[in-house]
């Protein structure tokens, strides 16, 4: 027993010694890190001060050059010779205080000062540069009639695009010196301006030892590579350099609008951070002692709690993050009948564009509100969490799974999706979700796999017409792989000309003549084969590539119309689909105008189609864009009317010209009397509102006859023609003869 106790005692001592060694090592590393951070912080501060002063001086230089250019605009030199110059005006400019003296020179070097004294400047570099068209600043020189040093600014005098002479301004150097921060780091630092040769031109402090000033030149000669390798627009940096056995920091920065002048600020290393280091070292010693004394308490209390919170709680919404969601879901399923459980993943539709349009603050409010709604409705009966930036997860046991799923979806869409934003404009805003559902079996154990399956279903639900959720099945995994490949190949496909346009003709129901068409994009993938727009459009919308596809379609249509005109073919209006994402482009209006001007396209030959769902939740913004497009002379069509949650109020709220009735609206018009009533009512209402009507998906003559009797005048569909390639549509235009419709 005694031996055992001794062994335990020795083990305890060993553990303590190891702990002390570990914490000592940690303390040493911590001190080293603090020391490094202090150095970095002070170097950053020196650089910031240097950069700011150089910017201020550069702005002063630019302002002086601009002032000189403004003065030169009122000067006239006839035949490149000095003539009567309005010296009173020049003297008035001198009295304003920017320049102490102004000098006008002709192309021969003959010059006159603002005090009318003549000088000859032909051999001076600043004059030579000016008559070559270059604005320059001469390095400091001593003014001939005073003891003061001055700068000379010089610019060309330009009249009708030709250089007629030069205008020079003499500038008091003290104005620049005053900006050199004469007192930095308690008067222990100084600043200077040097040229690209490393020569000190002037400094902030007259009392600085001449050796220190000369060290600036030495520094620039020896450290020239530092400046030449710097990629920053200001050519800036901080170096540590020994001067007279004293370590000093030299912060340097190129002064904008000068001929490679540099501002250099110097301060001794000791004066910058010696006091800080002493304080830090003492603090670290005390900190290590405190840590050794209370480490057990810390690990058992606040540290553990904070660590758990950091690991398991979403920082923004304060609900479970992905890791905690998985852990809680595993515990939840142990006590539940898996055959009654579902995993749901849902994300916010077009969330990235909400952030782009309204800002991240509005996006954050959305996420927080959704989280609060999840707490309100599912706190005690489900596990939920934010499992990725805009995706939420939910796992719940349902009493009657097959019948309760619809009710659960309704709660998510109508309860969870409502939020109050920071702005009254968005108060009680409704968010649209895309939802994926996975039904558990008794053989499901790995929660991460269940989440992945629900997310696969969610991804497949994107782009569905009239439905915002899907239940997972195994076929979706292969679809997901295809979707990933499609996303990877989109840009490549456009670059390799794999896309082409088809045209869906529009026919006059009474004459049988083609009166226009709708441009439809198709993708012939060299390995996959034909890829349906249903499979790639929603992917392109999600990753933003739809903007590139849309611009390609628009330019191809304009190019084709222009070719038809050049061949003497009567061009007919072509409608082009624009998604919600494309409408949010800042340059949309300018792009449309520029492209149509490029191909000399009449605005009446282009129509823009938007879907009804495009306007949901953001009618004000969409209406503004629609109004801008219509003001160009382009008609707007509402496509797919009748799909999903159609709302007749949209017909009065949205400024459109054409209403396109979706094929799903008329599919049973031959046999369903209610369908006839609804379609006829829509046609009559649209006509009453002054809208043109186009019925899509007309497949047989009986449907055609019914629509004709109802007053519909334009149709699209297989009854006349499917979507055809450009060359076939061109033939159709050439043979566009009136058909006899009496037999229909």
Which pLDDT score is estimated for 224? 46
Q: Which residues pair with 502 in a beta bridge?
A: 520, 725
Task: Say which residue, 637 or 544, is predicted with more confidence.
Answer: 637
In whole angstroms, how far apart are CA 450 and each of 23, 238, 343, 473, 484?
43, 54, 7, 12, 20
Task: Say which residue, 268 or 313, is predicted with more confidence.
Answer: 313
Strands (DSSP E) contained in 476-560 are 499-508, 514-525, 529-531
pLDDT (average), residues 662-673:
89
382 and 343 inside one domain = yes
Backbone angles phi, psi at 641, to 5 degrees: -65, 130
Strands 262-268 and 246-254: antiparallel
H-helix or E-strand containing 377? helix 360-378
Which pLDDT score is estimated for 466? 64
Would 250 be classed as within a structural domain? no
Q: Residue 675 sits in which domain range? A: 485-734
The answer to whether 265 and 191 have CB atoms below 8 angstroms apart is yes
533 and 664 inside one domain = yes
Q: Read off the tokens for 308.
A: 């758990």
- Residue in the structure block whose two tokens are 């929603």: 538
Query: What are 274-330's pLDDT values in tens digits?
Result: 556 666 666 666 666 666 665 665 555 666 666 667 788 888 999 999 999 999 999
493 and 462 inside one domain = no
Which pLDDT score is estimated for 17? 66
First CA to last CA distance, the chain: 110
In our burial notation (b when 16+ CB lie closer than 10 A, e otherwise), range 383-392 reads bbbbbeebbb
Q: Which of 336-340, 471-475, 492-496 has the lowest mean pLDDT?
A: 471-475
Would 202 be classed as within a structural domain? no
Would 182 be classed as within a structural domain? no
Q: Read off the tokens for 52.
A: 């700011």
CA–CA separation, 293 and 316 (whole Å): 35
pLDDT (average), residues 443-458:
91
463 and 489 inside one domain = no
Query: What are 216-259's pLDDT values in tens digits?
Result: 555 555 554 444 444 444 578 888 777 677 777 888 888 888 87
465 and 597 inside one domain = no
Which pLDDT score is estimated for 153? 87
Domain end among 447, 473, 499: 473
CA–CA separation, 481 and 476 (whole Å): 9
Which pLDDT score is estimated for 336? 92
Which pLDDT score is estimated for 353? 74
The pTM assigned to this predicted structure is 0.49
CA angle at 69 for the pair 65 and 72, rounded to the nearest 5°: 140
461 and 506 inside one domain = no
In whole angstroms, how far apart are CA 329 and each of 343, 447, 617, 731?
9, 7, 34, 63
pLDDT (average), residues 56-64:
86
pLDDT (average), residues 61-74:
84
Strands 391-397 and 341-348: antiparallel
Would 262 be classed as within a structural domain? no
Which pLDDT score is estimated for 658? 94
649 and 728 inside one domain = yes
pLDDT (average), residues 171-178:
79
424 and 560 inside one domain = no
Quick one: which of 617, 634, 619 has its CA closest to 576?
A: 634
547 and 436 inside one domain = no
CA–CA separation, 632 and 726 (whole Å): 26
Domain end among 473, 496, 513: 473
Quick one: which of 375, 374, 352 has its CA closest to 363?
A: 352
468 and 492 inside one domain = no
Q: How many residues does the chain have?
A: 744
Mean pLDDT estimate for the chain: 81
pLDDT (average), residues 697-712:
93
Task: Say which residue, 261 or 436, is predicted with more confidence.
Answer: 436
Confidence of residue 636 (pLDDT cuts 50, 70, 90): very high
Which pLDDT score is estimated for 230? 44
Which pLDDT score is estimated for 20? 64
| CATH code (residue 461) | 3.30.70.270
Which pLDDT score is estimated for 743? 38
Domain end among 141, 175, 209: 175
The answer to whether 114 and 103 have CB atoms below 8 angstroms apart is yes
Which pLDDT score is estimated for 578? 93
CA–CA separation, 365 and 650 (whole Å): 28
| CATH code (residue 678) | 3.20.20.450
Q: What is the domain count for the chain?
A: 3
499 and 419 inside one domain = no
Task: Say which residue, 37 or 371, is predicted with more confidence.
Answer: 371
Which pLDDT score is estimated for 152? 87
């Amino acid at each position: 027993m005694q031996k055992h106790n001794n062994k335990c005692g020795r083990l305890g001592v060993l553990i303590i010694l190891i702990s002390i060694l570990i914490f000592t090592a940690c303390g040493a590393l911590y001190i080293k890190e603090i020391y490094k951070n202090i150095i970095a912080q002070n170097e950053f501060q020196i650089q910031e001060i240097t950069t700011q002063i150089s910017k201020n001086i550069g702005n002063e230089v630019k302002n002086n050059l601009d002032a000189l250019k403004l003065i030169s605009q009122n000067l006239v030199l006839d035949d490149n010779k000095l003539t009567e110059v309005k010296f009173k005006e020049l003297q008035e400019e001198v009295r304003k205080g920017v320049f102490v003296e102004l000098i006008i020179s002709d192309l021969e070097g003959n010059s006159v000062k603002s005090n009318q004294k003549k000088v000859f400047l032909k051999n001076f570099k600043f004059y030579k540069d000016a008559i070559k068209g270059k604005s320059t600043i001469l390095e400091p020189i001593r003014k001939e009639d005073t003891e003061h040093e001055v700068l000379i600014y010089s610019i060309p005098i330009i009249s009708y695009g030709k250089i007629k002479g030069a205008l020079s301004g003499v500038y008091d150097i003290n104005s620049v010196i005053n900006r050199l921060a004469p007192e930095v780091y308690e008067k222990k630092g100084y600043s200077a301006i040097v040229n690209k040769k490393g020569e000190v031109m002037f400094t902030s402090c007259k009392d600085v030892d001449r050796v220190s000033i000369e060290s600036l030149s030495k520094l620039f000669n020896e450290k020239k590579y530092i400046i030449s390798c710097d990629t920053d627009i200001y050519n800036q940096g901080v170096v540590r350099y020994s001067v007279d056995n004293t370590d000093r920091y030299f912060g340097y920065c190129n002064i904008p609008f000068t001929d490679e002048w540099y501002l250099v600020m110097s301060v001794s290393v000791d004066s910058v951070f010696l006091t800080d280091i002493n304080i830090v070292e003492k603090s670290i010693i005390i900190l290590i002692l405190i840590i050794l004394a209370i480490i057990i308490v810390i690990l058992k209390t606040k540290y553990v709690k904070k660590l758990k919170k950091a690991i398991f709680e979403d920082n923004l919404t304060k609900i479970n993050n992905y890791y905690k969601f998985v852990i809680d879901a595993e515990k939840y399923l142990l006590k539940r009948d898996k055959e009654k459980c579902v995993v749901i993943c849902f994300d916010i539709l077009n969330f990235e564009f909400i952030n782009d349009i309204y800002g991240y603050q509005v996006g954050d409010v959305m996420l927080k509100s959704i989280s609060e709604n999840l707490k309100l409705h599912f706190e005690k009966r489900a596990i939920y969490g934010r499992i990725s930036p805009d995706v939420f997860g939910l796992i719940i046991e349902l009493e009657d799974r097959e019948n309760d799923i619809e009710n659960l979806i309704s709660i998510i869409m109508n309860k969870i999706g409502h939020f109050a934003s920071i702005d009254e404009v968005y108060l009680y805003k409704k968010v649209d979700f895309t939802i994926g559902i996975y039904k558990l079996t008794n053989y499901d154990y790995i929660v991460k796999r269940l989440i992945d399956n629900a997310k696969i279903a969610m991804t497949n639900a994107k782009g569905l017409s009239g439905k915002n959720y899907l239940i997972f099945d195994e076929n979706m995994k292969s679809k997901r792989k295809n979707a990933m490949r499609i996303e990877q190949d989109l840009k490549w496909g456009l670059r390799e000309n794999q896309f082409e346009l088809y045209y869906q003709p529009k026919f006059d129901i009474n004459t049988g003549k083609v009166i226009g068409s709708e441009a439809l994009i198709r993708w012939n993938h060299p390995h996959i084969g034909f890829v349906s727009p249903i499979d790639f459009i929603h992917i392109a919308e999600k990753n933003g590539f739809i903007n590139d596809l849309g611009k390609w379609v628009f330019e191809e249509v304009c190019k084709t119309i222009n070719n038809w005109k050049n061949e003497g073919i009567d061009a007919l209006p072509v409608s082009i689909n624009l998604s919600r994402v494309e409408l949010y482009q800042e340059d949309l209006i300018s792009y449309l105008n520029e492209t149509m001007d490029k191909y000399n396209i009449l605005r009446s030959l282009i129509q823009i189609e938007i879907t009804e769902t495009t306007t949901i939740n953001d009618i004000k913004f969409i209406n503004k864009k629609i109004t801008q497009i219509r003001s160009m002379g382009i008609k707007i069509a509402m496509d797919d009317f009748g799909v999903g949650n159609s709302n007749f109020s949209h017909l009065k709220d949205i400024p459109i010209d054409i209403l396109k009735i979706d094929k799903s609206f008329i599919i049973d018009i031959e046999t369903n009397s209610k369908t006839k009533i609804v379609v006829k009512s829509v046609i009559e209402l649209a006509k009453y509102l002054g809208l043109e009507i186009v019925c899509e998906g007309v497949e047989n003559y009986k449907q055609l006859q019914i629509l004709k009797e109802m007053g519909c005048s334009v149709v699209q569909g297989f009854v006349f023609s499917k979507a055809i390639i450009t060359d076939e549509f061109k033939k159709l235009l050439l043979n566009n003869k009136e058909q006899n419709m009496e037999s229909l």
